[in-house]
Each structure stands twice: as C-alpha cells, then as structure tokens.
Amino acid sequence: MTDAPLPQPDLVAALPRLRRYARVLTGDSARADDLVQETLARGWEKRRLWQAGTDLRAWLFTIMHNVFVNQRAQSHRDAQTVSLDAATEAGGESWHVPVPPQQFVRVEVVEMIAHVGRLPADQRETLLLAAVEEMKYEEIAQVLSVPVGTVMSRLSRAREKLRRMADGEEAPSLKRVK
C-alpha cells in the first residue's frame, strides 16, 4: 500500500482547531503547541491509515486525544517515582484559560470559564468538543473512543453541573461531608 498524501488544505484548515483543543486539554500555550506538533508528527507517521474521503479533522482530533491521554498516563507514572525531597514539585493537572494582561473580560464569562474548568476532565472535553468545535455526537464519540450514548450522557451531566454552579447551588471542588 502506498502512502496517500494528506489533503493539504484540510490539514491547514484543521490547525487552529487542533491548537484550540490542545489548549483546552493542556491549559498551557507551550504544552498545547507541543501537543499539536506531536499530533501532526504521529498523523504523518500513520498517514497510510487515514482513508481518503473521511474527515481528516476528526482523525487528527482522535490522534491528539490519544497522544494526550498517553502523555497524561506517563506523567502520572513519572509522578509516582518522584522523590519527596525533589527541589521542584511535580504539578498536578490544572486548567485555565491564558488571558493577555490588557484583555478585558466580562465577569460572567470569566466565572463560566472557571466553572467549565472545574468540570471533570471527561465532561469538560466532551462539552468543549460539542460547544466550541461544533462536532456532532458521532464525531465526538470517535475522537474520545466512547459510545455515542456516553457522549450524550457526559454532555447532559456537564450542562446540569454548569447550571447548578451558575446558580450557586454546587461547590464543585468541595465534597459535602455529613
């Protein structure tokens, strides 16, 4: 089987969306760029697996999601072997939206972004693929390697949690103790 070239216009058009999703996953601009680069490198290495006529963007998102999950698992394994006496502390996962210092943002938007950041990772990723990337349920299911029903369930739970957080009914980072 010969390597079919990836369609350059589709590849170029997917770059901003890949970068945006990478920033959502990593919460950091530099790590997002690294994730996009790794995704494109893997896509190039595996280009013979892409089927012409299928959605290149969804295929690349699937690669990115898998690379991210593998990197996160590796960092968790690495964190378990770090010495407690190490000079630098291994940081846990944090999620934030980088905002340039001169940019003015309405308080409601900042609060909603904070609420989205407090969602469990699986719900946050699913919500952002649906709302920001405007992917169909089937595409999200393919990217995340889950059934469509799981996508629908995650979206429903994410939306409900966001409603409760916006109404001040839920403190998402604290568990209630009776």
Single out the residue of 164, 80, 158 nearest to residue 121, CA to CA: 158
pLDDT number for residue 95: 53
Each residue's pLDDT tens digit, 86-95: 444 445 545 5
Single out the residue of 45, 62, 35, 47 nearest to residue 8, CA to CA: 47
pLDDT number for residue 175: 44
Q: Where are the domains of the chain?
A: 1-81, 100-171
Choose from 12-16, 38-42, 83-87, 152-156 the range with maximum mean pLDDT. Answer: 152-156
> Which of the following CATH numbers is that of domain 100-171: 1.10.10.10, 3.30.420.40, 1.10.1760.20, 3.40.190.10?
1.10.10.10
The whole-angstrom separation of Cα 119 and Cα 162 is: 8
**Judging by beta carbons within 10 Å of its beta carbon (0-12, 13-18, 19+), is residue 119 exposed, middle or buried?**
buried
Each residue's pLDDT tens digit, 130-147: 888 888 999 999 989 999
pLDDT number for residue 123: 92
Q: Which residue matches tokens 């996160």?
A: 72
Fold of 1-81: Rna Polymerase Sigma Factor; Chain: A (1.10.1740)
- Please spell the DSSP secondary structure of 82-122, one letter per residue: S-TT-SSPPP---------TT----HHHHHHHHHHHHS-HH
Residue 107 binned pLDDT confidence (cut-offs 50, 70, 90): low
Which amino acid does the sequence have at 120? Answer: P
* Chain centroid to CA 67: 11
Is the pLDDT higher at 105 or at 77?
77
Q: How many CA atoms lie within 13 A of 109 on its CB side?
A: 6
Q: What's the first-to-final CA gap in the chain, in angstroms? A: 63
Q: Are 118 and 112 in contact (CB under 8 A)?
A: no
Q: Which residue matches tokens 């291994």?
A: 90
Each residue's pLDDT tens digit, 58-75: 888 888 888 888 888 777
% of the chain with per-residue pLDDT over 70: 72
pLDDT number for residue 76: 67
% of the chain with per-residue pLDDT over 90: 17
Residue-level length of the chain: 178
- What is the rounded average pLDDT for all residues in the chain? 77
